[in-house]
């Protein structure tokens, strides 16, 4: 009698998982079925322009070295930072899942995961506020030793007033003191 109940529970769980997968597939199928005109501007779809790679993109495709611009720098730093965070989060989630199988709770991993999330939020807030102050672009990176803020060079370069504004934003959004803040000008 017990075996029959176990088999019935296993079948019910299997049916629920399969139904969930099917509903997910249906939902994503509907989203991917959108036409190009729904996704892009009608003008871009109707235009007769072909895809033209910029000189930099063509050189990258050919494997040549390309001079990077400030916007490329900021995009590369953000991507690198996000990939590092994603890897750390994945490792912490695996550690938490493994400790959960042993019957214990991995409080340390949960705290580290929460710290990563809070750091990412603080960096995003600082970057948004700096850009809101009129700077073209910036990237903030927090660590245990301090915070580094790379800012796109405004016309005439960064002045003392600019550094003061950036430092004020950082101190208002974090627990770092003035000595812990490094502002880097990106040309």
Task: Give dist(CA 187, CA 171) in Å, integer.
Answer: 25
Half-sphere exposure of 100 (CA within 13 A, CB side): 8
The closest of 134, 81, 88, 131 to 109, measured between CA atoms, is 88
Whole-structure pTM over 0.85, yes or no? no
Q: Is the pLDDT of residue 34 over 50?
A: no
Domains (range + CATH), the chain = 69-186 (1.10.287.4300)
Task: Give dist(CA 175, CA 122) in Å, integer.
Answer: 10
Instruction: Give the pLDDT band of residue 33 (cuts 50, 70, 90).
Output: very low
List, for residues 120-150, the tens digit of each pLDDT value.
888 889 988 998 888 888 899 888 889 999 9
């Amino acid at each position: 009698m017990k075996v029959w109940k176990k088999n019935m529970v296993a079948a019910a769980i299997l049916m629920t998982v399969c139904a969930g997968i099917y509903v997910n597939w249906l939902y994503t199928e509907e989203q991917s079925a959108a036409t190009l005109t729904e996704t892009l501007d009608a003008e871009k779809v109707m235009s007769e322009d072909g895809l033209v790679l910029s000189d930099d993109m063509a050189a990258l495709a050919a494997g040549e070295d390309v001079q990077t611009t400030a916007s490329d720098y900021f995009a590369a730093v953000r991507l690198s930072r996000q990939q590092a965070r994603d890897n750390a989060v994945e490792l912490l989630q695996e550690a938490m899942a493994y400790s959960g199988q042993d019957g214990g709770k991995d409080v340390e991993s949960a705290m580290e995961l929460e710290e990563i999330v809070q750091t990412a939020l603080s960096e995003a807030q600082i970057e948004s506020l700096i850009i809101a102050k009129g700077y073209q672009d910036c990237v903030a990176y927090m660590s245990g030793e301090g915070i580094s803020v790379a800012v796109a060079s405004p016309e005439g370069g960064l002045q003392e007033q600019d550094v003061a504004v950036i430092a004020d934003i950082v101190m208002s959004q974090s627990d770092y003191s003035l000595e812990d803040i490094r502002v880097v000008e990106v040309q």
